[in-house]
Amino acid sequence: MIKPHGADKLRPLLNTDQALVAEAESLPSMLLSSAAAANAVMLGGGYFTPLTGFMNVDDALSVATNMHTTGGLFWPVPVLNLVDDVSSIENHARIALRDPNVDGRPVIAIMDVDNIERLSDEQFETLTKQTFGTDDPAHPGVSVFQAQGRYCVSGPIEVLNLSYFETEFAGTFKTAVEIRDEINALGWETVVAFQTRNPMHLAHEELCRMAMERLDADGIVVHMLLGKLKAGDIPASVRDACIRKMVDVYFPENTVLVNGYGFDMLYAGPREALLHAVFRQNMGATHLIVGRDHAGVGDYYGPFDAQAIFDELPDDALDIEIFAADHTAWSKKLDRVVMMREAPDHSPEDYVFLSGTKVRDMLSQGIAPPPEFSRPEVAEILMDYYRSSDAA
């Protein structure tokens, strides 16, 4: 089985010892941002192996500019705990970190504080531009990052729970440890990971099938993001229902695992694609599908920037490999889904292609997209959602 990134075995930071839970209530505390809480969940579940906690400014800047920590570990995105007020924790060596996403703001982790540092304007700009490729506040990831604060609180953590993901997405949310165990129990050796923050239409389904066949894979993990998204994105519970229906009806048994992870979307394009590869290696995948505009938003990144960045890495940066995919769509000429680069004789009119706006309009009116675009069982779930008050 593929080794975890930078370690011989996973290093999940989850510790549910009741003595630790009791201690947490006696400690001075700070309220995390949602982004920092999501980082804690990823650390707790082993996805961010071999990190031991939140990065200090030197490590964060090194990661942002060189994609390595100061100790030489390859890492593509700073893992930070940023806050705008540190008055409650100043001069304290051990603190409790509170979860902003759960009622009552319970403690999610305990931190041994190594540093409390204030980012300069120059450092803040470097972190933003290097991570997101832009400092445009209209970029949803930049907007969230810039709102977190300028104080960087760093140090190792022990994670006491995995936030709302364990209860709200019971059966779907899994730690990297749990997914590795599932893969191992199935005896899979070549494992493909498919990242998604959207429901899967027919083209996504066929892309997974293509990757499995061409890589002679034992199975695929459809691994959906369960954390915060930008306004207008479809909720995780609806995506989960769509994906499970598609897998149940259209894939052979014991070839697909449907799981999710507790992280907030960064929309950071190429850098986020690399982060996806890191934590998919940690969960046991040997390959990651990286498609057109992977983890992108708007026009901030080129369509294949997220694939090209992998070509810039040193050979020893990652063990996981990518399956580089083009846009996929139904070919009217061939009567099947194809990757566009593999159909050079096609013109745009030869494909069944619908914009996201068009699909949303159809679904909200109770009109199913054509079967060349979406499975009818999936379309029915989405029509129910768009007709409900939740999508209003």
Of 193, 184, 223, 186, nearest in space to 9 by CA: 184
Tokens of 301: 């990144």
**Residue 197 annotated among the catalytic residues of the structure:** yes
**Active-site entry in 94, 150, 197, 360:** 197
Q: How many residues can be counted in the chain?
A: 392
Tokens of 156: 């190792």
**Active-site entry in 198, 209, 360, 387:** 198
Of 21, 60, 234, 58, nearest in space to 145 by CA: 60
- CB distance 345 to 233 below 8 Å: no
Of 283, 322, 287, 285, nearest in space to 306 by CA: 322
- CB distance 253 to 208 below 8 Å: no
Within 10 angstroms of residue 128's Cβ, the number of other Cβ atoms is: 20
Handedness of CA 158, 161, 164, 169 (dihedral sign): positive
Phi/psi of residue 371, nearest 5 degrees = -65, -20
Give the DSSP letter of residue 391: G
CA atoms within 13 A on the CB side of 4: 20
Instruction: Report, as residue numbers or ranges, the catalytic residues.
Output: 197-198
